[in-house]
Amino acid sequence: MTYIYELENITQSYAGRTVLEVSELKIERGSILGITGPNGCGKSTLLRILAFLERPRSGRLLFKSIPVHDINEQLRREATLLLQETRLLKRTVFENVVYGLKARAIKEGLTRKVHSALEMVGLDPEDFAGRHWFQLSGGESQRVALASRLVLRPEVLILDEPTASIDANSARIIARAIVDAREKFGASIVLVSHDIEWSYSAADEVISMFSGKIRSKNIENIIQGPWEEGNDGTVLRYLEDGQIITAAGKPGNEYSMGLLDPGDIILSLDYPGNSSARNTLRGTVTRMNLEDEGRSILVTVNIQDTVLTSRITKGSLSRLGIVPGSTVILVFKSNSIRWA
């Protein structure tokens, strides 16, 4: 197995406060790695280190099996970063996309390469190449920003919330273009997104981060506060439709993150009779994905403002007969929720 990145005991700190501690992380060449976690958990710091925009305080970083001691321009050209709100140059679309090629002293086939990159992000070159930056919508601007990275055909494409705060059509096109970058020129992709469903469907592996650390390399449900105290030592999370999630133990504060393993959620078509479980929630199936080479199925269920994923067997899926759009009951114990 060939790795594009290998990280060992990487730490980073700002103003004397440690914000990142990664004991080990290996990213396979040509893979798509998804990273999830709440704001302030260290995701952006990790991305800046992977993009060679800053050096870690300590630890060992290898890129293509070569230890990285000093950051240089060549490294930065091999790993390109796209932020959530990337500002375009105050120029035409063509000039924005071609800028990186010219900075690398590339002179051959510029028009062809720019047009190909624009087509990858769903923008007709005949219509968009001559437009100015102020003639674009927010979604179109983000697609042009992505095209300006794709045209470089980088070894690694690093994306920080690339589909946040844009229209659904642009988000769908960007998601497709990111997968195409891996398929067409073998780019390794590192993707941060709050779109849990997309991350799990697009990525080969998803890691969860909390408080600067990688807490899980498996799929985890994240239940965000606010939590309220119950009458029996539990805490409660009220959902928009009036349903309640009950958790045991004491969170650090009312906005603590609750973690729930998909394997701890049982799916049913009816409310259970006598059950020791404290949570029975009604929701709608929105997605089903194969996992572990088809040996199990991840079923994503929408419950108003909360999305939960259950892991079930093929036999359970056949017995339940559910499809996207089916109404199901999720059952899990209050003590199955762990605190980040």
CATH of the domain at 108: 3.40.50.300
Residue 154's pLDDT is 92
Do the Cβ atoms of 178 and 148 come closer than 8 Å? no
Give the residue-averaged pLDDT of 288-313.
83
Residue 293's pLDDT is 60
Mean residue pLDDT of the chain comes to 89
The count of structural domains within the chain is 2
Please indicate, yes or no, whether residues 40 and 129 belong to a single structural domain of this protein.
yes
Contacts of 245 (CB under 8 A, 6+ apart): 223, 236, 237, 239, 258, 279, 281, 306, 337
CA distances for 129 relative to 86, 123, 136, 149, 274, angstroms: 18, 9, 11, 16, 64
Give the residue-averaged pLDDT of 310-319.
90
Residue 80's pLDDT is 93
pLDDT tens profile 124-162: 999 999 999 999 999 999 999 999 999 999 999 999 988
Give the residue-averaged pLDDT of 42-69.
93
| Residue-by-residue DSSP string for 103-168 | HTT--TTHHHHHHHHHHHTT--HHHHTT-BGGGS-HHHHHHHHHHHHHTT--SEEEEESTTTTS-H
Helix, strand, coil content of the chain in percent (nearest 5): 30, 35, 35
Confidence band for 166, pLDDT divided at 50, 70 and 90 = confident
Please indicate, yes or no, whether residues 163 and 261 belong to a single structural domain of this protein.
no
Amino acid identity at 111: T
Please indicate, yes or no, whether residues 80 and 136 belong to a single structural domain of this protein.
yes
Confidence band for 110, pLDDT divided at 50, 70 and 90 = very high
Range of the domain at 236: 218-339
Least confident of 34-38, 66-70, 159-163: 34-38
Looking at 215, 238, 257, which one is the last position of a domain? 215
Residue 136's pLDDT is 93
Residue 266's pLDDT is 93
CA distances for 304 relative to 59, 271, 323, angstroms: 43, 18, 18
Q: Is the pLDDT of residue 332 over 90?
A: yes
Q: Is the pLDDT of residue 237 over 70?
A: yes
CATH of the domain at 292: 2.40.50.100
Residue 197's pLDDT is 64
**85, 90, 92, 97: CA torsion to nearest 10:** -50
Please indicate, yes or no, whether residues 86 and 187 belong to a single structural domain of this protein.
yes
Q: Which two tokens stand for residue 85?
A: 């709100």
Q: What is the Cα–Cα distance from 268 to 331, expressed in whole angstroms?
A: 8
pLDDT tens profile 263-296: 899 999 998 876 666 899 999 998 887 776 667 8
Confidence band for 41, pLDDT divided at 50, 70 and 90 = confident
Nearest to 146 by CA among 111, 120, 184: 120
High-pLDDT (> 90) share of the chain, %? 55
Please indicate, yes or no, whether residues 240 and 158 belong to a single structural domain of this protein.
no
Residue 223's pLDDT is 86
Q: Is the pLDDT of residue 219 over 80?
A: no
Residue 227's pLDDT is 92
Confidence band for 231, pLDDT divided at 50, 70 and 90 = confident
Establish how many alpha carbons lie within 13 A of residue 117's alpha carbon, considering only the half-sphere containing its beta carbon.
28
